[in-house]
Structure 1
Amino acid sequence: MKDVALWTISKVVLNHSHPCYPDQAEMLKQHRELSMFVRCTIETHEEAEIRPSKTYQSFVAAAGSHSKLGFIEKDVRNYIIREVRNISEEDDAKEFGKSRAAFDYFGDVVSFDTMYNTNRYNLVLGSFVGVNHHGQSTLLG
């Protein structure tokens, strides 16, 4: 009834299009949770550059099966993205602010870039480049 903004139920179908398993309700998103131990382990593995899939598999191995964990692999990945990496982004922003303040005060820059690596030896190339207050560039190492 549009004029009074009410709905009238005219038909109810009680059968589902999929089976319901009440014993698996704990895996619904609102019931999944990462314990403090799991969070600390994820953070430690992230610092050691262990892939999230390997981290999750270590929890599965310790628990004995996927069904014995109170979370899924996507929860591990979400925690890393939302909690662990955001902290480092905030730290990067703070460091950038310190660098800008140092540049304003001293007027020179030192840059260290390790984004390039060689194909032959797969070694990281790091070059220190300094720019003094006269605008002259110097290769420092």
Structure 2
Amino acid sequence: MAAQKGRDLLLKIDSDGVGTFVTVAGLRTRTLGLNAQSVDVTDMESAGEWRELLAGGGIKRASITGAGLFRDAQSDALMRQLFFDGAIRAFQVTIPDFGVIAGPFQITALEFSGRHDGELTFDMALESAGELTFAAV
């Protein structure tokens, strides 16, 4: 696979709760992390006393972080409202030449910062709140 443009990693939010997705505008950086917790089932009879893991066990989770500028009134207002409500909403992450990961997320952090001679910026963090799906492109 050839190198990809970072700006093509898109974060979209279900703007109306019924599947109308809009891109979260103003993001300069975006990161998607996928994690799977392992379950250790090692016991005294494990071969050579090597650790053994339970296949398919544990908890899977995804986290999304982003930073940027407020540029789009609709998505900005929606992100703030979802944070203050503690609501869970469907999001999509489009990864170029890979696919789309979609599912419910909750905004767990929303930080604002600004320099006296610069623009207002924000940082946000989202955590998965249910089963995610993957669709290859």
TM-score interval (norm. to shorter): under 0.3
Q: Which has the larger radius of gyration?
A: 1
Q: Which has the higher helix share?
A: 1
- Relative to the length of structure 2, the TM-score reads 0.23
Higher RCO (C-alpha under 8 Å, 6+ residues apart): 2
Q: Which has the higher strand share?
A: 2
- Relative to the length of structure 1, the TM-score reads 0.22
